[in-house]
Amino acid sequence: MNPLFDQFFQSQYRDRWSSLLASLRAKENQVARPNLFSQDASSLQWVLNPQFSEIPRGEDQLLQYYIMDPASILAALALQVQSGDVVLDMCAAPGGKTLILAEALRTSGELIANEMSEARRERLKKVMQQYIPREIRERFWVTGKDGGKFALTHKEKFDRILVDAPCSGERHLLENKTELEGWTESRTKKLGHRQYALMTAALLAVKPGGRIVYSTCSISPYENDDVIRTLQKKKKGFRALDVQDELSDAVKENSILFEVFEKRELTEYGLHFLPDHSGAGPIYLSVLERE
């Protein structure tokens, strides 16, 4: 264990840190979410911690399930995409949240799924090909821009923007000895600066009245509430929303998602799902509306 890492998060989470650390090191709880584009979607059930040897395909040859963290699903649902919306998924790979946004646009609307990393972008393309019918994919585009460029090229273009920002991802960091040994507090601060830049771009790219969801899989305050706090200090023309009622309505018929949602933790600007309490995550989300 990197002592700098341990000391920093001990100072943030105090008596809770030992249980949170243990939950981050434990096997991640995941859910197999039915692919709503599949012809068999109506007969498929949600599966907690699936044991597929491989993900089954339907008669249409689309994969029938996407496996992901249930709290990540809540972050995508919080964007409240409506049919006909023009949507940007600014940091889209690997593609699980992108699929949820695409499903909401099934009949009409446009989606740009952006990923700057070429390797991750190829994975994103493959996911879209495996899960979305060709005729529907014609309304969706995969791009490889720096997310900050959308402020220049797509000003006030989008009804909805998801900024699932690159982050420290401490659960995965703990699995990588080399990366963990190189962790410093300055590194998570620098990531916070980058995340802030992505959010300033999103504020310019979203339409007045449009919605932005900011999310991370980090437990670092520098990458979560602090990003929104800095945004409030330096930028105007937006407000943070309380979307708890919306999310409750969206998941009340799904026992797996509802159980996770009920164990949400409120922060100053959003919600945090931490694995020692909710059994999912870590996922932080904050929802902003441009005025």
Per-residue pLDDT, averaged over 138-154, amounts to 94
The pLDDT tens digits for 170-202 are 999 999 999 999 999 999 999 999 999 999 999
What integer pLDDT is reported at residue 179 of this predicted model? 95
What integer pLDDT is reported at residue 284 of this predicted model? 98
Residue 106 pLDDT grade (very low, low, confident, very high; cuts 50, 70, 90): confident
Per-residue pLDDT, averaged over 105-124, amounts to 96
The pLDDT tens digits for 254-268 are 999 999 999 999 999
Return the residue matching tokens 């991802």: 169
What integer pLDDT is reported at residue 46 of this predicted model? 98
Question: Could you tell me whether strands 31-34 and 47-48 are parallel, antiparallel, or unpaired per DSSP bridges?
Answer: antiparallel
Per-residue pLDDT, averaged over 124-136, amounts to 97
Boundaries of every domain in the chain: 3-29+69-290
The pLDDT tens digits for 18-65 are 999 999 999 999 999 999 999 999 999 999 999 999 999 999 999 999
The listed CATH number (3.30.2130.30, 1.10.1670.10, 3.40.50.150, 3.30.300.20) that belongs to domain 3-29+69-290: 3.40.50.150
- Quick check: 206 and 161 in contact, CB under 8 A? yes
Residue 218 pLDDT grade (very low, low, confident, very high; cuts 50, 70, 90): very high
3-state SS record for the chain = CCHHHHHHHHHHHHHHHHHHHHHHHCCCCCEEEECCCCCCHHHCCCEECCCCCCCCECCCCCECEEEECHHHHHHHHCCCCCCCCEEEECCCCCCHHHHHHHHHCCCCCEEEEECCCHHHHHHHHHHHHHHCCHHHHCCEEEECCCHHHHHHHCCCCEEEEEEECCCCCHHHHCCCHHHHHCCCHHHHHHHHHHHHHHHHHHHHHEEEEEEEEEEECCCCHHHCHHHHHHHHHHCCCEEEECCHHHHHHHHCCCHHHHHHHHCCEECCCCEEECHHHHCCCCEEEEEEEEC
Burial 85-97 (b: 16+ CB within 10 A, else e): bbbbbbbbbebbb
What integer pLDDT is reported at residue 84 of this predicted model? 96
pTM for this prediction: 0.97
Whether pLDDT at 210 is above 90 = yes
Per-residue pLDDT, averaged over 132-158, amounts to 94
Whether pLDDT at 107 is above 90 = no
91 catalytically annotated: no
Backbone angles phi, psi at 140, to 5 degrees: -120, 145
Question: Could you tell me whether strands 271-273 and 283-290 are parallel, antiparallel, or unpaired per DSSP bridges?
Answer: antiparallel
Exposed / middle / buried, residue 175 (Cβ in 10 Å: 0-12, 13-18, 19+): exposed
What integer pLDDT is reported at residue 280 of this predicted model? 98
The pLDDT tens digits for 221-250 are 999 999 999 999 999 999 999 999 999 999
What integer pLDDT is reported at residue 121 of this predicted model? 97
How far is 211 from 107, CA to CA, in rounded Å?
A: 20
The pLDDT tens digits for 150-170 are 999 999 999 999 999 999 999
Q: Which of 217, 227, 228, 241 is catalytic?
A: 217
Return the residue matching tokens 């911690």: 49
